Amino acid sequence: MTDFTLQNLLDFTQKEEEMVKEFTPQNGTAEMEPCERSVKNLLAYSKALSIRKSSKLKTLTLVLN
């Protein structure tokens, strides 16, 4: 079993805060959104996906293309 001290927790928290600041926009106004290609790919996949109930297999999942 590993023992952790309060100093370990403090170090972890500070590193976590630094990482969060690194990956968030500095001005706070920029919103992240997926590119158009990603949206089109997800919509195409959802149209090709077929999930049906089966008496022997509970559910049957198929991708139709």
Q: Read off the pTM.
A: 0.45
Give how far Cα 59 sits from Cα of 42, 44, 49, 51, 53, Å. Answer: 22, 21, 13, 7, 4
- Does some domain include residue 22? no
Question: What DSSP string runs through 2-31?
Answer: ----HHHHHHHHHHHHHHHHHHS-SSS---
Task: Tell me how many domains the chain contains.
Answer: 1
- Does some domain include residue 50? yes
Give the domain extent around 45: 35-65
Q: How far apart are CA 58 and CA 52, in angstroms?
A: 9
Give per-residue pLDDT as tens, 7-47.
999 999 999 999 988 887 666 556 778 899 999 999 999 99
Q: How far apart are CA 30 and CA 48, in angstroms?
A: 33
pLDDT of residue 48: 94
- Does some domain include residue 41? yes
| Amino acid type, 65 | N
- Does some domain include residue 24? no
- Does some domain include residue 21? no
